[in-house]
Amino acid sequence: MSIRIVADSSSNVYALEGANFVTVPMKVIAGEKEFTDTPSQSVAEMVRYLKGYTGKSGSSCPNVQEWLDAFAGEDDIIAITISGPLSGSYNSAKQAAEEFVSEHPGRKAYVIDSKTAGPQMMLIVEKLLALIGEGLDFDTVVAKGIEYANSTHILFCLESMMNLARNGRVSVAAAKLAGVLGIRGVGDVRQGQITTVAKPRGAKKATQTLVEMMKERGFRDGAQLRIAHCFGEEQANAVFDAVRAEFPNARFTLEPTTCLCSFYAEAGGLMIGFEGGFNENNHN
């Protein structure tokens, strides 16, 4: 029996060649304007619009039917979603999984709350696909996938936090101060919520802070690292060079952010997913 991996589009990758992997789109909403997270959506257009937008903004998750449509025609399903506290995507996927199983006796469906988004989430997707490729049974793939997820981490490095402020993730005052002083917001995800843990000033200091935080979280030479950037290739390459200087055998992927991750990262922002030690904040 085959197993399909289905993720919401916060995974920051829409498809993988040759893999039984599909995504369901999330949306970014700013007033009456909607941006659907699909390959046809211009990220540059969305970023430009949000930069000049002063109202409340947020995201909208896939509904139950959209998840079911992505499950259709497959034997077994493993779904993975953006952090539950950030979105209703997990609850929608759970309802869809229950309906899928009830309508298809003998098939299996399991939903993983990634407790994160973007490149960390994609590390988990890739691990699940690798486990399936080894020919492991469904329950073993799920168990080993969750075990792996618990040793992955994410860091943010944001030049702007205005979108986070507009949807209540950080205070407006803190976001404005960071923009004026050139302070980066460096943080991670704790209990499914974005948390700022350092405020370095300038790109060089931010890079040093990120590398130190990676080491604190157990990153080792030979481990895997994914850096997603929102029109911040220069900063992404600086982090790449700094990590490679200390960990020459690290396995890298550099990629642009898609629509939903660009909403959180904003222009110049980075999202860094990596393998490390046990992450109590990612425990399923």
From 22-31, 101-110, 186-195, the region with the lowest mean pLDDT: 186-195
Residue 49 falls inside a structural domain: no
> What value, to the nearest 5°, has the Cα angle with vertex 276 and ends 235 and 134?
110
Residue 176 falls inside a structural domain: yes
Rounded distance between C-alpha atoms, residue 127 and residue 145, angstroms: 6
Is the pLDDT assigned to residue 180 strictly greater than 50?
no
Residues 106 and 162 in one domain: no
Residues 137 and 13 in one domain: yes
Residue 268 falls inside a structural domain: yes
Is the pLDDT assigned to residue 172 strictly greater than 60?
no
| Per-residue pLDDT at 159 | 79
The count of domains in the chain is: 2
| Per-residue pLDDT at 272 | 97
Q: For position 188, which CATH number holds?
A: 3.30.1180.10
Residues 188 and 156 in one domain: yes
Q: What is the mean pLDDT of the chain?
A: 90
| Per-residue pLDDT at 158 | 85
Residues 9 and 139 in one domain: yes
| Per-residue pLDDT at 264 | 87
Residues 243 and 158 in one domain: yes
Q: For position 72, which CATH number holds?
A: 3.40.50.10440
| Per-residue pLDDT at 15 | 94
| Per-residue pLDDT at 280 | 77
| Per-residue pLDDT at 34 | 96
From 169-173, 214-218, 219-223, 245-249, the region with the lowest mean pLDDT: 169-173
Q: What are phi and psi of 229, to 5 degrees?
A: -130, 145
Is the pLDDT assigned to residue 220 strictly greater than 50?
yes
Judge residue 114's burial from the number of C-beta atoms within 10 Å of its C-beta, 0-12 exposed, 13-18 middle, 19 or more buried: buried
Check residues 211 and 183 and name the one with the higher pLDDT.
Answer: 211
Residue range of the domain that includes 141: 3-26+61-149
| Per-residue pLDDT at 19 | 95
Residues 68 and 177 in one domain: no
- Average pLDDT in the 198-226 region? 92
Residue 48 falls inside a structural domain: no
- Average pLDDT in the 46-61 region? 90
Sequence-ordered alpha helix ranges (H) in the chain = 43-52, 64-71, 89-103, 118-133, 138-149, 162-166, 172-181, 203-216, 233-246, 259-265
